[in-house]
Structure 1
Amino acid sequence: MKRIMRWLANLGVVLALAAGLAVWIALPWFGVLAVAAVLAAWLLLSRRGQQTLAVASVGVSSLPQRWGASSVIVVGIAGVVGVLVAMLAMGEGFKATLNRTGNETTAIILRGGSQAETNSVITRDQVPLIGQLDGIARSRDGRPLVSPELSQVVSLVTRADGTDANAQLRGVGAMAWELRPQVRIVEGRRFEPGRRELVVGRGAREQYVGLEVGRTLELANQPWTVVGVFESGDSHESELWADAEVLGPTYQRTAFQSVTVKLDGKRGLARLKAAMAADPRLKLDVETTRHYYNKQSAGLTRLIQILGTVVGAIMAVGAVFGALNTMYAAVAARAREIATLRAIGFRGLPVVVAVMLETMLLALLGGLIGALLAWLVFNGYTASTLSGNFSQVVFQFQVGPELVWTGLKWALGIGLVGGLFPALRAARLPVTEALRAA
């Protein structure tokens, strides 16, 4: 019967721990501050809290004597946090790059039902019809701000390892520069309409071989000259741009894939949708470019987050076992000390909380080290990955305060799990048995 009761008690502890961890992971920063404030008030103002501080101070003061064993917790948790933050920083950097690409003042038009440019077709006779629709802004000379575009994947040699990789060659219309004012030529000049000339994003130039100004590329068995380099601070920096009217015939394209337009005011999108729905010749969809690029980043960002969480969880299990072994050994080494404290009137709660505070202090130190290493090594690190168009997008890892905060919550969660069961053992240790064993 006692075994069943003990088993049920342990099961209750595990279930409560699992629920507590779920709440802890979901807790916002102000919730954590509230928990910390309540704990600090209890430690300072209550009798048992002061007893807890006394027991914890003894344990913390003895850390230098057992630093070798304690470093297992610190190093293990630092590794978990470092890997987790680095993985999530990759997803955040990719998401931020694509999110910066679009805005609410421009819209992209695709064939009805298309999810990306790669599976969209807009015929040439539809482009003039689109330009006459209500909701599209016009330039000073009265021309609609419309850029019919096509996307072509080309194979280029990477600088990193000399292998072939996909790059996105975008054919744009004459209005593309006005539609994307963030695109700035930083070296050379723009391509001239009607000529086989390219301008390349700075990220693409750093990623691939042979994209310096003045170099000639052979694309579709035709020579193309690189005449300029541009910056945009978004995913367009991973692209090569050319005149769509020249690029289309080169690759035997008789249609476009998308049309980017400038919206006329806040109601521009609604007016454009209404006008498009009223014309039976236009079976097309339209959405803001911000919404479009947010959708393009969502799938890969979610995959990276899932992978990062799974890898972090697997490493966290190892760190928890390391913490358990270390704290069990610490409790065993301090058996006489804990028994003496309980013999002179210290209750089980102060002992439990003191052991857990000691473990979570080590966990916090490991979390800070892991987050710092992730920030030093990966923040601003340039990488590339495949986009929705199956071409490489150059982006930078972003280690921000939110990711550091996530890593620290994971560290403290590991410390909570790793310290709870040794703490319970210390509180349940019979006084006479502990004194006799010591």
Structure 2
Amino acid sequence: MLLPWEYGVRNLARRPLRTALTLVALATVVMLVFVVVGFIRGLEQSLAVSGDPDVVLVYSVNSEENIENSSIAARTPSLLVASLDGVANRFGVTCVSPELYLGTRVKTADGSGGLGLVRGVKLSAPLVRRSVQLIQGDWPEEGEVIVGRLATAKLGSTETALSVGETIEFEGRSWVISGRFAAGGSAYESEIWCQLEDFQIATKRQDLSLVAMLLSPGNSAAEVELFCKERTDLELRAIRETDYYATLQQHYKPVRVLAWFVVVLVSAAGIFAGLNMMYGAVAGRVRELATLQAIGFRRRAILISLIQEGVLLAAAGSLLSGAIALTMLNGMAVRFTMGAFTLRIDSVAILIGCGVGLMLGVLGALPPAIKALKAEVATSLKSI
């Protein structure tokens, strides 16, 4: 016969201070799990939505995977358009975006700032970068820039310092913020965009970093790749944009593995903390447990009741942490080497976090309960 369900619930209420401390400890452990898993899911989501399967990137073959180090001739866009037939045309404009992209020191009006990612583009850029949407202000003119909605996180600045009308400095010039843009959570959202010609003058460069081309329906990136391989004199490399960000996924794989290792370490630490607290809780109830055995309850029934108490506390802590994570952590911007992205507390993160919490409740209560129930009933009844 099992102990009544209400018995375990009442036991938690009989020791409010110990129960509250255990709840806070369990909730803290689960919260750390939510943070780490949200980081992993946010990084993966940012890279997953950054690529467009119809866009091909052409850049220097010598730069490997780092486009910031790429340098190609300014005549490359016109050469590609003249040599290839599969480039899309929208509204009478060829969908080719020549771009100069690099990391540089950016200073905001309030004196803050840091290493920012700046991309010089032309008016054709929105036709190729189809996820980019201007959400405030206007497209930049000479001496102006537009900033992504996560640029504040990348620069470690504030929303006020990067609001429309404010001034920022980079490459020895002052630039007025004319607008803000979003890009569906992609990597572009941590960047600053300006006119290509302006950026070339500021950096004293006439070359480009890359050319992004939108292919018309039915055309393959293989044609562009073949052209780049045949024209060895140009030293160009072509790759579908989705494949490029897939390689970045592999590049950041050690980071994700390390983050999952942190989840395991945090969970292990939580289990040991739960063991410590449950040992203390059970040690003060030796006579109670012995009395239950003396009046006829089996050890298995008492063990299940103790596990019930641990699981109830763990479930409450998991729900508390989940509510905080969804309301306060979900969507929080995080600075990273590739730019910035947002923590993502999705169904996977909730499942892992709550699963870890319930595991803490079971594994934390099981060993001390077994140890207490192994003692002789007569000896336990005499304990103080």
For residue 287 of structure 1, give the secondary structure of its aligned residue in structure 2. strand
Q: Give the secondary structure class of the aligned counterpart of 2:359.
A: helix
> In the aligned structure 2, how far is the partner of 1:273 from the partner of 1:205?
36
Q: Once the 2 structures are TM-superposed, how far is the Cα of residue 170 of structure 1 from its aligned partner?
A: 0.8
Letter in 2 for 1:289: E
SS in 1 for 2:131: coil
Out of 40, 65, 71, which is 1:115 matched to?
65
Matched positions, count: 378
Give the TM-score taking structure 1 as reference length: 0.74
What corresponds to 1:170 in structure 2? 119
Does 1:262 pair with 2:208? no
The verdict on how the C-alpha distance between 1:125 and 1:162 changes in structure 2, with shifts beyond 3 A counting, is closer
SS state of the match for residue 7, structure 2?
A: helix
Aligned residue number for residue 273 of structure 1: 225
- Alpha carbons of 1:155 and 1:95: their partners in 2 closer, same or farther (altered >3 Å)? same
- The residue matched to 2:271 in structure 1 has which SS? helix
Q: CA 1:177 to 1:94, structure 2 compared with 1: closer, same or farther past 3 Å?
A: same
**Structure 2 residue aligned with 1:252:** 204
Match of 2:145 in 1: 198
Letter in 2 for 1:242: C
SS in 2 for 1:268: coil
Q: What does residue range 43-122 of structure 1 map to in structure 2 within 5 Å?
A: 51-52=1-2, 54=3, 57-112=6-61, 114-122=64-72
Distance in 2 between residues matched to 1:331 and 1:340, nearest whole Å: 14
Using the alignment, how far apart are the partners of 1:137 and 1:403 within structure 2?
A: 40
Matched, 1:354 2:305: yes
Question: Aligned-pair distance for 1:257?
Answer: 1.3
CA change 1:330–1:56 in 2 (3 A) is: farther
Give the Cα–Cα distance (whole angstroms) in 1 for the partners of residues 89 and 379 of structure 2.
89
Residue 245 of structure 2 corresponds to 293
* SS at 1:100 equivalent: helix
1:377 corresponds in structure 2 to 328
8 Å contact 1:191–1:242 — kept in the other structure?
yes
1:360 counterpart letter in structure 2: V
Between Structure 1 and Structure 2, the one with more helix by share is 1
Provide the rounded CA distance (Å) in 1 between the counterparts of 2:111 and 2:103: 18
Distance in structure 2 (CA, Å) of the matches to 1:415 and 1:162: 48
* 2: CA distance, partners of 1:368 / 1:62: 20
Which residue of structure 1 aligns with residue 366 of structure 2? 420
Kindly report structure 1 stretches of 4+ aligned residues shifted beyond 6 Å: none
User: What is the DSSP-based 3-state SS (H/G/I as helix, E as strand, rest coil) of the residue aligned with 1:256?
Assistant: coil
Report deviation, 1:59.
Answer: 3.2
Tell me by how many angstroms 1:358 deviates: 1.9
Task: Give the Å deviation of 1:78.
Answer: 0.3
Residue range with higher mean Cα deviation, 96-105 or 213-222: 213-222
Give the aligned residue type for 2:79. L
Q: Which stretches in structure 1 are left out of the alignment for 5+ residues?
A: 1-50
Q: Is the 8 A contact 2:68 2:101 kept in 1?
A: yes
Asked whether the 8 Å contact 1:214–1:226 carries over to 2, the reply is yes
Q: Bigger CA drift: 266-275 or 144-153?
A: 266-275
8 Å Cα contact 1:201-1:239 kept in structure 2: yes
Q: How much has 1:115 moved relative to structure 2?
A: 0.7
